[in-house]
């Protein structure tokens, strides 16, 4: 085969397929310490370990929410944390048929000679780290590559560098039993129209899948986490049906059928926007050989965070808010979302210009 078939091949295929179960999706709760700090400070909560632990406990013990999820992406610290009763988070997830995942990249750095384009770090000892994470219960990983649209961007250098990085990360994961989520995010920042985003997304995805093939990655044991195809942040918005049409067309033109599932990132979209767009895609009457689901961070947690505001007394209500978003997105993966779960908070845009994780 072109693909590397190591000792974990069957397990990788099984886990990737499970994560892509219709009706389920991923909670991206892998904010690094710095990033979660920004979230906590937005609700006036101190960025200390016990608060980070409390937030994640709130999410993972939300009654009935886990049944809407097939996976949760964790930051390294969280992988080893426990509930206040002393139960490892990983166990809670596993008992509820939610696969623990782990963010393995170490952020982005600028590529010299470009206009602020970046590449992603994290290769040093990546194999050994993956082995450790596997032992701790992780069964999938995530690595975020970032590209931007500008007059001369993304450059061929940035596209190649990020595609190669994703491919190398992916094969190392597979060698060590982790399903790699391949995330080539094309940022929404800019005044470009949806056609431009579509063209760039197609070019980027084509380069990514060529690189994955070059590196012998087993596609059946991977997932894709792309941006949706939308107008730039400085451009007029369009209807969910339009976003759905452009997004699914782009994916049909580039993502081989062997990939079991596509789990969208939410970028700067509001909770409600992200859900409606996902729903529109699943309602689209066109052949889609992979499932279309979510891997949302902000778009699943925003209302929950604000409702919690760091106060124990608010935990119940915050968990209800979380369940509400989980259910809405679960329905959206089936094209059955009927809207109406949008409170004021859920419609708030989460776009931050030049967002740095």
Q: Catalytic amino acids?
A: 183, 225
Contact stretch for other proteins (CB under 8 A) within 54-62, 85-93, 169-177, 285-293: 285-293
Q: Where are the beta strands (DSSP E) in 187-313?
A: 223-224, 261-264, 291-296
Query: Residue 96: what are its φ and ψ, rounded to 5°?
Result: -105, 20
Q: How far is the CB of 257 from other proteins (least distance, A)?
A: 5
- The answer to whether 274 and 266 are in contact (CB under 8 A) is yes
Q: Residue 260 CB, nearest distance to other proteins (Å)?
A: 9
Of the chain, the end-to-end C-alpha distance in Å amounts to 37
| One residue of 104, 182, 219, 228 binding other proteins per CB under 8 A | 219
Interface with other proteins in residues 236-255 (CB under 8 A): 249-250, 252-255
Q: Say how far residue 71 (Cα) sits from the centre of its chain.
A: 10
Residue 323, CB-side half-sphere exposure with 13 Å CA sphere: 13
Cα distance between residue 277 and residue 232, in whole Å: 15
DSSP structural state of residue 88 = B
Rounded CA-CA distance 119/146 in Å is 7
Whether residue 256 contacts residue 226, with contact meaning beta carbons closer than 8 Å, is answered with no
- The label of the residue with tokens 């989520």 reads 181
How many other C-beta atoms lie within 10 A of the C-beta of residue 300? 29
Cis peptide before 51 (omega within 30 of 0): no
Among 17, 82, 168, 210, binds other proteins (CB under 8 A): 210
Which of 43, 54, 206, 284 touches other proteins by CB under 8 A?
A: 206
Closest among 128, 93, 130, 129 to 18, alpha carbons compared: 93
Instruction: For residue 338, count other CB atoms closer than 10 A to its CB.
Output: 8
Shortest Cβ 146–other proteins spacing (Å): 21
Interface with other proteins, residue 198, by CB under 8 A: yes
Q: Which is nearer to other proteins, 14 or 210 (CB)?
A: 210
Decide whether 178 or 207 has the Cβ nearer to other proteins.
207
Helix axes 240-252, 271-283, angle to 10 degrees: 60
CB 337 → other proteins: shortest distance, Å? 24
Asked if residue 230 lies in contact with residue 238, where contact means CB atoms within 8 angstroms, the answer is yes
Size of the site for other proteins (CB under 8 A): 27
Minimum separation from the CB atom of position 2 to other proteins (A): 4
> What is the per-residue binding string for other proteins in 154-193, x denoting contact by CB under 8 A?
----------------------------------------
| Among residues 288, 314, 334, 343, the one that binds other proteins under rule CB under 8 A | 288
Which member of 10, 46, 110, 195 binds other proteins (CB under 8 A)? 195
Candidates 30-38, 76-84, 142-150, 211-219 — which segment interacts with other proteins by CB under 8 A? Answer: 211-219
- How near is the Cβ of 7 to other proteins at its closest, in Å? 18
- Does 118 bind other proteins (CB under 8 A)? Our answer is no
Instruction: For residue 295, give the nearest of 79, 71, 98, 95 by alpha carbon.
Output: 71
| Nearest CB to other proteins, comparing residues 45 and 251 | 251
Cα 185 to chain centroid, rounded: 10
Per rule CB under 8 A, is residue 258 in the interface with other proteins? Answer: yes
Q: Which of 3, 27, 28, 244 binds other proteins (CB under 8 A)?
A: 3
319, two tokens: 């968990």
Site string for other proteins, 122-161 (x = CB under 8 A): ----------------------------------------
Binding site for other proteins (CB under 8 A): 1-3, 195, 198-199, 202-203, 206-207, 209-210, 213-214, 219, 249-250, 252-258, 287-289
């Amino acid at each position: 085969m072109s693909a590397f078939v190591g000792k974990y091949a069957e397990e990788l295929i099984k886990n990737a397929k499970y994560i892509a179960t219709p009706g389920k999706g991923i909670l991206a709760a892998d904010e690094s310490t710095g990033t979660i700090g920004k979230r906590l400070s937005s609700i006036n909560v101190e960025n200390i370990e016990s608060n980070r632990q409390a937030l994640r406990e709130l999410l993972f013990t939300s009654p009935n929410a886990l049944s809407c999820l097939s996976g949760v992406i964790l930051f390294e610290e969280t992988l080893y944390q426990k509930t206040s009763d002393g139960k490892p988070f990983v166990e809670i997830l596993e008992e509820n048929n939610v696969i623990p995942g782990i963010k393995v990249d170490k952020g982005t750095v600028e590529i010299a000679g470009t206009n602020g384009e970046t590449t992603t770090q994290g290769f040093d000892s990546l194999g050994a780290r993956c082995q450790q994470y596997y032992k701790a219960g992780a069964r999938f990983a995530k690595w975020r590559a970032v590209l931007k649209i500008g007059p001369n961007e993304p450059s061929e250098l940035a596209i190649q560098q990020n595609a190669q990085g994703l491919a190398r990360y992916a094969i190392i994961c597979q060698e060590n039993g982790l399903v790699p989520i391949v995330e080539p995010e094309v940022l929404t920042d800019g005044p470009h129209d949806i056609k431009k985003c579509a063209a760039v997304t197609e070019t980027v995805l084509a380069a990514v899948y060529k690189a994955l093939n070059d590196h012998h990655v087993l596609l059946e044991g991977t997932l894709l986490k792309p941006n949706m195809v939308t107008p730039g942040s400085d451009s007029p918005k369009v209807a969910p049906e339009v976003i759905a049409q452009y997004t699914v067309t782009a994916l049909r033109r580039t993502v081989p059928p062997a990939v079991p599932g596509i789990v969208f990132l939410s970028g700067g979209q509001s909770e409600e926007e992200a859900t409606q767009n996902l729903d529109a895609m699943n309602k689209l009457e066109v052949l889609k050989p992979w499932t279309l689901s979510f891997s949302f961070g902000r778009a699943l947690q925003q209302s929950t965070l604000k409702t919690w505001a760091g106060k124990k007394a608010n935990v119940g209500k915050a968990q209800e808010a979380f369940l509400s978003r989980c259910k809405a997105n679960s329905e959206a993966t089936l094209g059955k979302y009927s809207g109406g779960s949008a409170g004021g908070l859920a419609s708030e845009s989460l776009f931050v210009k030049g967002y740095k994780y």
